[in-house]
Amino acid sequence: MKKKFFISTFLILTLATFTSLMVKWQFSPYVFFIKDLKKNIAAVTNPSFINTKDLSLNEDPPKDHDFGSIIKLHDIKIVKLIQLNNFKFQWGRVDAKELKRVGAAELNGKNIWYVNQDDFKLTNRLGLEDKITSNGGIKSIFSINNKSYVYIAYVDNACATARLIDLTSMKVALQLPCLPNSENADLNASGGAFLRLADNAVLLSTGTPTMANPDHEINQTAQSDKSLWGKLLKLNLINDKLTVEIFSKGHRNPQGLAKIGENIFDVEHGPMGGDEINVIKKGNNYGWPLQSLGSQYDLGTINKSYTKPIVTEPPMLSFVPSIGISYIDKCPQIYNDYYAPNECLAASSLRGKSIDFIVHKNGKVLFTEKLQFNERIRKFFVRGNTIVALTDFKGVIIGNLDKLN
Ligand SMILES: [Ca+2]
């Protein structure tokens, strides 16, 4: 009798374990994918400290913002190692409990300055603290001619929109129009990527902030030459006057912009699938919402042609499914040098929890290699052979890339 009880208990437990595994597999094969990749992260025994000498060579002078927070990057221990084909990335982590979804960050030597998207002190000073809904908030902070500007997305009554505020005078420098049918706005997709072109000129990305289908009016703004949404905007500051021109159009939600070598690249979120890395040229149309390699969230097909109904620019690389591409910078110097004369860029991801090195030549991607982490990476900085990455809610990853031998 007792034996029978044990056998049936054992069978029930085995069946329950098997079922829960099957459920997990069926609904989230991605969990297992990540788990397998975790094997590439090895724990380091006898930890030494991360070499931060490349950070002290940083050319940007520290900014005297009286808001935001500082994370110190001194004396961080190497605890993990990721092995690539010819390189190893040895890294550690600084836990930062206050770090949420970062809206702006700067690496100043061995300190990271950052401000969260929903930072109360700043949104309160801007008079928008009760209007940061629908995933709005501080999307970027940058300077033109040493004047600091904040790009902030917010909802005021029935109007979902964004504005640029001069942080010295606190005056509105640029007001975007209300999004059409604002009730469908998702201000996560307000862009906020920026790139300094000259002392008095910056590129700033807006986006088409909605999860709705391509035919929705918010998405259609990206193709309109009369709308500032869905664009890369060139901001010029001349004699204290800010002027705006449309640099390129057809962008869904660019989150990162960088000039690497001779080219400007952006990384932008696609719909369901179809995140993109684009080579940016003035006057180009990058296709959204006429074209995407992704699909609608209801699985509806989106046109794949680059010539019909009008000519649009294909991405250099698209990610299907989407990795939640979040930021872009150059590759570590040692990696770049190893693969020269080919070129290299690094792109981070939220959903993919990675930093990918993308080696390309003449607009053609040759191969990619992946630093796979376990955290969503929102922004990162490459200085020399050191990478510093800000994660959502967890802290900062910092490490050095070295040759394997
Ligand atoms: Ca596109």
Classify 86 as helix, strand or coil: coil
Identify whether residues 362 and 382 lie together within a single domain.
yes
Range of the domain at 266: 40-403
How many helices, marked H, and strands, marked E, lie in the chain?
Answer: 5, 25
Please check the confidence at residue 29 and state whether its pLDDT lies above 60.
Answer: no
Identify whether residues 30 and 135 lie together within a single domain.
no
Identify whether residues 58 and 165 lie together within a single domain.
yes
Q: Residue 59 — very low, low, confident or very high, per pLDDT cuts 50/70/90?
A: low
Output the CA 278–ligand 1 centroid distance in Å: 8
Classify 122 as helix, strand or coil: helix
Output the CA 66–ligand 1 centroid distance in Å: 38
State pLDDT tens for residues 145-202: 989 999 999 999 999 999 999 999 999 999 999 999 999 999 999 999 999 999 999 9
Output the CA 289–ligand 1 centroid distance in Å: 8
CATH number at residue 391: 2.120.10.30
Identify whether residues 2 and 120 lie together within a single domain.
no
Output the CA 213–ligand 1 centroid distance in Å: 15
Identify whether residues 13 and 66 lie together within a single domain.
no
Output the CA 398–ligand 1 centroid distance in Å: 32
Output the CA 312–ligand 1 centroid distance in Å: 8
For the chain, what percent of residues have pLDDT higher than 90?
A: 83
Identify whether residues 130 and 224 lie together within a single domain.
yes
The answer to whether the predicted template modeling score (pTM) of the entire model surpasses 0.85 is yes
Measured distance CA(114)–CA(105) in Å, rounded:
4
Identify whether residues 82 and 223 lie together within a single domain.
yes
Number of domains the chain contains: 2
Identify whether residues 190 and 134 lie together within a single domain.
yes
Mean predicted confidence (pLDDT) in 9-30: 59
Mean predicted confidence (pLDDT) in 325-348: 98
Residue carrying structure tokens 């700033």:
204
> What is the reported pLDDT for 30?
44
Output the CA 47–ligand 1 centroid distance in Å: 44
Identify whether residues 19 and 48 lie together within a single domain.
no
Measured distance CA(55)–CA(33) in Å, rounded:
34
Output the CA 315–ligand 1 centroid distance in Å: 6
209 within 8 A of 187, measured Cβ to Cβ: yes
Output the CA 30–ligand 1 centroid distance in Å: 25
State pLDDT tens for residues 319-330: 999 999 999 999
